[in-house]
Structure 1
Amino acid sequence: MERRRKKKKTRNRRSQFNSKIVIITGVALLLIYLAGSLYYTWNFYNRTTINGVNCSNISTKSAEELISTQVREYTLTIEERDDATEQIKGEDIGLKIYFDGGLDSIKKKQNGFLWPIHFFTKDDYEIGTMLNYDKDLLESFYNYLNCFNEDYVIQPIDAHVSEYQDDGYTVVEETKGNLVKKDKLYEIIQNAVLALDSSVSIEKEDCYENPGVTMDNEALNNAVEQMNHLVSSKITYEFGDDQEVVDGEKIHKWINVDSDYNVSLNQEDIKEFIDYIGKTYNTFGKVRTLKTSYDKTIQVSGGDYGWWLDRTTELSELTKAIQAGTQGVREPVYFQTAKQYGDDDVGNTYVEINLTAQHLFFYKDGNMVVDSDFVSGNLTKNYGTPVGTYPIQYRQKDATLVGEDYETSVSYWMPFNGNIGMHDASWRSDFGKDIYLKSGSHGCINLPPKVAKTIYEGISKGTAVIVYELPGTENYTVGSTATEASEQSNETQNDNSQTNETTQNNSTTSNTQTN
């Protein structure tokens, strides 16, 4: 029983002690609460932010001083390209703040007895303040920012086509530069200062002047692709031992690209090249050197034999070939060709006609096939055969030669100068000597039938016929009649030469054939 009484007394004492602890703790908490309520009657709650400034547990006056201090220490950082930065400080532009009672208003709305609730929560406030700065100072600092220094500024450059290189063209990437939109940025900085923003990014605010064309521009890339296609061409002209190569080195100088990236070939530039080919390799009508069968070397002028480039057609065809990206050897378009290229474009197959001797020689592959007397144009009647170098225009068997006062059938007709040609003259029994002076043809070379047949069978279209005079090779006695005929021959040569030149220049053909 005694033991039970002792246990009961112990429990009572413990209960009394716990009660005292509870009372003391409650009183302490109450005192803390009351103290806190009193404290937060005059101070802002814990974790209170006003206009971005931490104003926790301070009075309105202290908060005002803290905000004012931060304004005085305010710095605006301007973020530029290439990690460059510049700053404008509040003190440098006379930045000041004026309060309009907003802090007191927040404080009055704050219930001090509710401080425990707000102890662990965050309260953010924006109050009306009046910021003011010296506009002249701001403008002065702004204008002297390094980003406006001419030595520093890099102008934006559009993406564009590169210069031609051995491997063609590429797209050159645009240069962003760092040219600032000055007026736009100034307005943004003014607003940033009034909002006490800590930084302004020129890039993010889109205040840089940007290139108008970037390297991913579709039209630009298409243009480069087209240009590379053009310069990929390699067209080789072969003129005997000489070559003219049309490749990227030439073609890139002929390419035009307009502002809309339309690619074209400059026809005037290509024409200049075609004219160069014509001037360099045309042999049409040139003076030729001939070592005659009489072992004398002479100059033969006149005639229409030789290479004659069709410049208009070749201009069109070369343009098409470049546009197709052609690679290979190209034969130009000619009005007329010759046997071979080079100074000697006649080769070793030709007919040599000596009007003075009234004798001709036919050489094929360097070997004389036949030589023979003939009868040429009647000098007395001004039908003299013109001198010069001519190509055989065509061959025809059993032709009928028709003139104003005749119609003659021949077996072998080989025209070389308009309506003048070589043919058999079965009606003649004699050839050579001075027959041509008074009884010559209308301009053609009259041949013995067998000789005409031999030449006809060995000759082909385009073979050169070289007609000349060689004083001292006459095979007849030169008298007064011959002299007169010779003078008439000179007049006839001039007239016929002019007539023939007109015929060639106008590309006309007469239906009249001369016997």
Structure 2
Amino acid sequence: MTDNDYRDEQGGVLPQPMSEQTLQRLAENRERREEQRIARAAKRRRRKIIVLLAALVVLAVAVYSGGVAHFSGHFMNKTSLGSVDISGKTTAEVQALLDDTTASYSLTISDYGFETSIQAADINFSLDQNCTAEALIAKRNPFIWPYEMMFVRDLAEYLQVTYDEQALFALLQVAVDEHNQHAEPPKEESIVFDQETKTFAYSGPIAGTHLIYEQVLIKTQDALANLRSVLELGDDCVVQPAAGGNEAQLTAAAKQANRLCDQYHITFMLGDSASLVVDSAQAAQWITIDEEYSVSLDQGKIDSWIDSICALLNSKGGERTYLRPDGKEVTVSGGSYGWAADRDATAKLIRDAIAQKPKQNVYIPCAVVGNGFLGLPGADWGKRYIDVDISEQYARFYDDDGNLIWETDVITGTRWTDFETPSGVNTIQYKASPKSLRSTGTYTIYNDDGTVTIEEDHVFGRDVEYWMPFINDFIGLHDAWWQDSFGGSLYEDASHGSGGCINLPSDKAAELYDLVRVGDVVVTHW
């Protein structure tokens, strides 16, 4: 190769080609420089990571140290004392809480219609002197606070409460005993009569509301130990019924009872004004089931029912206990109203009819006929009547369908005197408007100076616009235009109480006068 081989067309010199060795050295140099660059970059990254890690370690140490310092005097998150959250509180705050708890603590216990409250003072409730906030905070290790923070802790388990156990036993026993007096006992599996469908059906075991004192005590002591403010007792605190297992036999007995009750629809006519019906619902009250699940009517129950009916058919002046339409149970005796029938003959007639199940009506002869007969539990009058409740100082009038159509506050005879309104069942004798209720008699005045003044031929009473007597022509319902107000305890004051009559507001007396009929029953009672 000559020099001319490395010149261009114009005679310029061209670069000479490098040898393979040169090219290889150049490539190796480039690789070495790249490796050095990468190494320097990696070294810089390592320095940054080391610096970052060092910073994180310093920060972690600072946070950890701060946590140790903080949780040495503050309760950790997720920490409670019974039902009270004490997360983040200082020992001073928790100590104040403990002190307040001792003074104001109360526990309300309830379930199954039972409710009672136990106050700290009732049982001398207090915390053990060693149960301090400092002692409680020591139960969680501040040096492992990151680990401790993972768990929910209730420190109430470390509290040691003290109280007068005998006082607790006595309080709880009285409360449970009072509840159990009216509690529902458990019901074994049986057949039950449905008043709506008028049929018997199987009913499985049903727990009642009768409490087990020992179980209530155990749960109460646990609640006190854990400073709980509310305790719901649960199923294990009530008497449970025996296990079932006789559903098939009792279902068959229910069907047999339904067939037996369906045979009864006997109507007893009481004069022309009332009737008494023995239907499936009444027969259901007499059903009995023996140990072999055989169904029959209990003759003893039938006889008892007949005796009660016969007593009502000879009830004049006697004691009756009945349910007023608003649900109040009332017992009343006295008065001139009542039925009269031959007791023995009536009992035989009813007993024979129940045995024979006649299709036609059965007539019961009555010497004296009332104006209605609701029957048991004790009303020998109809749905239409006037009810005067002396204890409530309130009167109500129910119509032929038993609907309340009139009511008012009243003032009855002066209490604790000879002028008290008599209790009893009577009827409206007649109606008069207007009416003079004046009479004359001896009036004794006891003067302030101790002397006594006697007025002969003193005029008693006033003229009224509406008069509706129900005890002879002496005691009745009437307007009392001179009274400023009615109801309450006014009848206890001689200046307001009447001489035995039922004082009514004038407008209410006018309403009643238009509604009432001669012969309507008036029941006055406490």
TM-score band, normalised by shorter chain: 0.3 to 0.5
TM-score of the superposition, structure 2-length normalised? 0.34
TM-score of the superposition, structure 1-length normalised? 0.34
